[in-house]
Amino acid sequence: MGRRISYREALREGLREAMQADPRVFLMGEDVGRYGGSYAVSKGLLEEFGPERIRDTPLSELGFVGAGIGAALGGMRPIVEVMTVNFSLLALDPIVNTAAMLRHMSGGQFSVPVVIRMATGAGRQVAAQHSNSFEAWYAHVPGLRVLAPATVEDARWMLRAALADPDPVLIFEHAQLYNSEGELPESEPLTVDIGSARVRRSGTDVSLITHGGSLPKALQAAQELAAQGVSAEVVDLRVLRPLDDATIMASVRKCRRALVVDEAWRSGSLAAEVMARIGEQAFFDLDAPLARVCSEEVPIPYARHMEEAALPQASKIVAAVLALMGVAA
């Protein structure tokens, strides 16, 4: 038996555990302290751990992300919270040119054990500058590990393994997931895996490959497809760098059809990378062309009906699968 918990609460429990276990761990970012976090993830932690370990920062991603990287180099274990992935672009230089590269450029003399958490994704009517999914940009960079927890269990336990990693780890939390709830097993996992994908639903006809905020939509689509006689397997990538090719290919070879669901724009997307790898490794196992459902190639609109039209939805996934199966919708 487990207990019902929200994604937000699972993240908070992970943060609390990390800070209790290691005095070198501290959290820094905009509004993480007195305000309790932009998404209320760190609510109550300032009172519990004090301002030295829950540090409100000035509104300068370039400054405080750089400071977090420096703290990691100095022997600390910082967790840096960036309010949204859009704002992380201001810190691209320290993340990509310093944190990701320093182990290589120092010949292995230095590592940068920093964890950077950030909200990603759309669906909340906060318009174009707060709604993007740039995970693929970071998954492009050697030296970074990129995680996308989509379940309460991953939200709870991935941080532990991320802090134990000697290299920089980026954790993308889809903003639509914070209020979602799930069952968290009472017993702690023996191992915390941040290297492999997970099959969230078994199937035989088509493999739905996705991550983050698109996972609930893929699972909903799989349920609707089952009512129409189509058995869809749902693969949650979870780890965007390095990608778990073995799990992806095993699913594709079993189902012989694949649809990739990715909230990012189609051009240059993670979906494109996944499809390319399937083409390279499992082309002759396919019974149909590869397909994908991505966001429309427009800045994410503010108006609710336009935002919903721009994003992947369960109905779009169902229609794409039926087309792949040669079944009229």
As a whole number of angstroms, the distance between CA 259 and CA 48 comes to: 45
> How confident is the model at residue 240, as a pLDDT?
98
Residue given tokens 């914070």 in the structure block? 178
Angle between helices 7-21 and 152-164 (to 10 degrees): 30
Q: What is the DSSP letter of 268?
A: T
Residue given tokens 């990287």 in the structure block? 69
> How confident is the model at residue 328, as a pLDDT?
56
Residue 78 pLDDT greater than 90, yes or no: yes
As a whole number of angstroms, the distance between CA 138 and CA 276 comes to: 18
Tokens of 2: 């487990």
Return the active site residues: 61, 130
Tokens of 1: 């038996």
Three-class DSSP category at 38 = coil
Do 34 and 208 touch, CB atoms closer than 8 A?
A: no
Q: Quick one: residue 256, left, alpha or beta (phi over 0 = left, psi -120 to 50 = alpha)?
A: left
Claim: this prediction has a pTM higher than 0.85: yes
Angle between helices 245-255 and 270-282 (to 10 degrees): 70
Start-to-end CA span in the chain (Å): 40
Tokens of 6: 């929200």
Three-class DSSP category at 232 = strand
> How confident is the model at residue 192, as a pLDDT?
82
pLDDT above 70: percentage of residues in the chain: 99
- Which among 108, 127, 26 is positioned nearest to 70, based on CA atoms? 26
Domains 2-185 and 198-325 share a fold: yes
- Which among 253, 261, 213 is positioned nearest to 234, based on CA atoms? 261
Residue 190 pLDDT greater than 90, yes or no: no
Using CB atoms within 10 Å of the CB of residue 20, give its burial: 0 to 12 exposed, 13 to 18 middle, 19+ buried: exposed
26-39 tens-digit pLDDT: 999 999 999 999 99
Architecture of the domain whose range is 198-325: 3-Layer(aba) Sandwich (3.40)
As a whole number of angstroms, the distance between CA 116 and CA 106 comes to: 22
Q: Domain segments of the chain: what residues?
A: 2-185, 198-325
Minimum mean pLDDT range among 83-87, 160-164, 191-195: 191-195
273-322 tens-digit pLDDT: 999 999 999 999 999 999 999 999 999 999 999 999 999 999 999 999 99
- Which among 10, 61, 11, 24 is positioned nearest to 164, based on CA atoms? 24
Per the prediction, the chain carries an average pLDDT of: 96
Tokens of 247: 């799990």
H helical segments located in 22-130: 45-49, 61-73, 85-88, 92, 102-105
Residue 111 pLDDT greater than 80, yes or no: yes
For domain 2-185, give the CATH number.
3.40.50.970
Sheet holding 77-82, edge to edge: 54-56, 25-29, 77-82, 115-120, 169-174, 145-147, 239-241
Q: What is the DSSP letter of 301?
A: P
